[in-house]
A and B are shown apart, each in its own frame.
Chain A
Amino acid sequence: MCRLFAVTSNDPLSPMMAINALNVMKEGHDGSGVGLFLTDLGGEFEKFKNEPILSGIFSNEGIKALDRFMIDLDFMVKYKLSFRPTKPTPAGTPKRDNYVIRVYEYPADWEGLSQEEIQFRLMMVQLQLQERGEKDKSMLIFSFWPDVIMIKEVGDPLAVAQYLGFDRKELSARTILSQGRQNTNYSIDIYACHPFFIQGISTMTNGENTAFVPIREFLMSRNFPGYVGYKSDSEVFTHILHYMQNKLGMGMEMYKHIITPLKDEELVCHPDGKLLRNLKQSCRPLIIDGPNCVIGCLPDKSMFMVQDSKKLRPGVVGGRPGIFAFSSEMCGLDAAIPERDINLDDQPMRYETVIVRRERQEIEKWNQWDSLPPLH
């Protein structure tokens, strides 16, 4: 089962901190992939809070095609960070030409567009590039979004991190999601590495999602171009969250109610039972069938963790004001923040959602039994 580690801190951290925590949990991942999601960036990228950042892997031809494509759209490169590794590749990692992180300036004619329209266009640019790269494998695109960097590669997390030099000073972030993948039942595909990303929302999951097919079918029938991909059965967790927030306009408190609704007999005594029952029926294809632990980051940089009732070894959250870490295993948390008060660690149970806001002061908890805030 994949290993997950996420950290949110007031001071920018090197992604190596997360990679080291993954390395402690090495027993549980098999080198079939590592993924990083960095947001609330520090270092060089702090200056470009509002400009979209493109993250991906390009062949030499791919880079040229990218330049042509972006110039046609009138995107100008403002800052870039490229890795062109010269060292021998670690075991299992393919040789690639360019790992690219580029900050772009918006096209002039995007001026005055609504926030929603800009976000939609950014997603469409990412999808178009992804599609172009799909044909000749010249481009792999992970994200195109302001204040977000994503890196994914096949191989052992620590070996890949050393190979690509994740310890470079330009790379630091206050909010980091990372995954060491254990490949269980699908062929190794770099797009199957977590975390997944769509329009500012990113999640990663461990465990199998046995209800994958109906969820995928439901999402793909929503007529939203972003609901594609699904190289991994865990990508749907990100898209369910996106659908819930952006399409249904519901807050994070409803996520558990959609993926793991209360039982019918429980709904009878819930203060909002009537609405929740209707929601359960309407969103029935989105119910997951675990065991899954989902760790994610919302556009407002708050970090959350939920899991379903089948999860026997729940993830854990701990830390102190200023820094909190979310880990699929206790040992990862111990390695990352050893000096915390372990009595304040929290393992969310079947009804709970835990969330750490951007202020990083406390672990907030919601229970599915709580009454809902009024619908807005």
Chain B
Amino acid sequence: MESMGLVTPSTLSVKDLPWQIHWSKEKCTLCGSCTAVCPVRAIDLGVHRKRSLQVPVGLETKPGNLFSIYHGIDQRTDPAHACVGCGMCTMVCPNGAIAPLHSGEIDKLRFHINQGGEPRRRGGRRNSPDSVLDKIKFVRISMLTDPALDAGRHEFELRTLLGRILPPEEMLRVSRESGWMPPVREIYPLVIGSMSFGALSPNMWEGLQMGVAYLNEELGMPVRICTGEGGCPPRLLKSRFLKYVILQIASGYFGWDEIIHNLPQMKEDPCAIEIKYGQGAKPGDGGLLMWYKVNKLIAAIRGVPQGISLPSPPTHQTKYSIEEAVAKMIQSMSMAWGFRVPVYPKISATSTAMARASAGGIPLRLRLMTALRFSPRTNSRTR
């Protein structure tokens, strides 16, 4: 065992505890009263090693380390023995050499106390294992009258369809006439949300992309990721992994210059094109990428100067009507990839509005939506 103990990223420091023991080496006489009186046994007598650098004058002797030891107080970092700030040590100390001090930071200790079966670690947004993905369960159904003895007979179809599915009548007509069938992708019902390159960080964004590529290539899970509004680095646009990526076009059109210029070099079609028509979740003036996030890379991909704030308008400033927005945009996006790529409008739901939309991409029969922030008069495109 190492004398200093093993330090890992998960190791707790005294800074993770609400109270820190301040101890003065000069005043302490090592009487041991404080360690004896501590009700939670937060402190121990310890042997400390001290290393100092010794640099002798002249060149004959090389600089070296001088090691010494001294005795003193150690604060334990185990949450079970965390200092409670009772001040007993201060009261019994004959020399006033020790006192607990509150860190003044937010309480991090509760994450360490409430482990919930999780190993101890530092950081992370939360310690609650409430993720939806953790809650997905597959149970066998229809056990009531015919229990299946052979699991191989059960087929679980987990994949969903991305693209416009023609109704059977129309599908048969199109097949008979050898007409155009809208492209459909069979994907896992799991699409990493549209978070832009700028809004996340390049590291995080690239990490997610790598994760998606791994799930597809190694695990055979057709998971997809949407770029968000911020465009896509050319390196990815030209790679074969583009087929796992849904490119988003939104009201700021960020990154599309780059995408269009890279069209001839693309080895694969993207999975789909998502059109974000508005910024329904954001009040007022739409989205804003703060100036300090617009670094050299992001500025290059978006085709803007570095270090300026980038507003993403609440609606498409270049569109006059929903007819134009939906029909023309879907048409031009479809044409750009030879009608081989599904193009769909992003629609989200609230409990206050009622609408049905069906445009070039997914036929949506949602009762509710907001992302389309157009006036209800233009219902000629809805079915």
A residues whose Cβ falls under 8 Å from a Cβ of B: 1, 182, 184-185, 207-208, 210, 247-250, 263-264, 275, 278-279, 281-284, 287, 289-291, 309-313, 350, 375
Residues in B whose Cβ lies below 8 Å from that of A247: 168-169
Given A264-B186, A282-B168, A289-B141: A312 touches B146 (CB 8 Å cut-off): yes
Given A281-B165, A284-B161: A185 touches B144 (CB 8 Å cut-off): yes
Q: CA separation between A283 and B186, bound complex, in Å?
A: 15
Contact with A along B150-182 (1 / 0, CB 8 A): 100111010001000111110110011000010
Residues in B whose Cβ lies below 8 Å from that of A310: 142, 146, 148, 153-154
B residues whose Cβ falls under 8 Å from a Cβ of A: 141-142, 144-146, 148-150, 153-155, 157, 161, 165-169, 171-172, 175-176, 181, 184, 186
Residues in B whose Cβ lies below 8 Å from that of A1: 145-146
Residues in B whose Cβ lies below 8 Å from that of A282: 165-168, 171
Q: Which residue of A lies closest to B161 (CB)?
A: A281
Whether B165 pairs with A184 at a CB distance below 8 angstroms is no
Q: CA separation between A168 and B289, bound complex, in Å?
A: 85
Whether A248 pairs with B145 at a CB distance below 8 angstroms is no
Distance in angstroms from A276 CB to nearest chain B CB is 11
Residues in B whose Cβ lies below 8 Å from that of A182: 145
Residues in B whose Cβ lies below 8 Å from that of A248: 168-169, 172
Whether B141 pairs with A375 at a CB distance below 8 angstroms is no
State the majority secondary structure of interface residues on A.
loop
Distance in angstroms from B155 CB to nearest chain A CB is 7
Residues in B whose Cβ lies below 8 Å from that of A283: 168
Given A309-B153, A312-B150: A184 touches B145 (CB 8 Å cut-off): yes
11 extra interface residue pairs, beta carbon distance < 8 Å, beyond A282-B168, A284-B161:
A1-B145, A208-B144, A208-B146, A210-B141, A248-B168, A263-B155, A278-B175, A279-B172, A282-B166, A284-B165, A313-B146
Residues in B whose Cβ lies below 8 Å from that of A278: 166, 171, 175, 181
Q: Which residue of A lies closest to B156 (CB)?
A: A289
Report which of A208, A275, A375 forms a contact with B145, defined as CB distance below 8 A: A208
Q: CA separation between A309 and B139, bound complex, in Å?
A: 18
Q: CA separation between A366 and B171, bound complex, in Å?
A: 24
Whether A375 pairs with B175 at a CB distance below 8 angstroms is yes
Whether A208 pairs with B142 at a CB distance below 8 angstroms is yes
Q: CA separation between A250 and B186, bound complex, in Å?
A: 25
Return 14 A-B CB contacts under 8 Å, by A number.
Answer: A1-B146, A207-B142, A207-B145, A208-B142, A278-B166, A279-B172, A281-B171, A282-B167, A284-B165, A291-B146, A291-B148, A311-B146, A375-B175, A375-B176
Q: CA separation between A239 and B186, bound complex, in Å?
A: 28
Distance in angstroms from B141 CB to nearest chain A CB is 5
Distance in angstroms from A210 CB to nearest chain B CB is 5
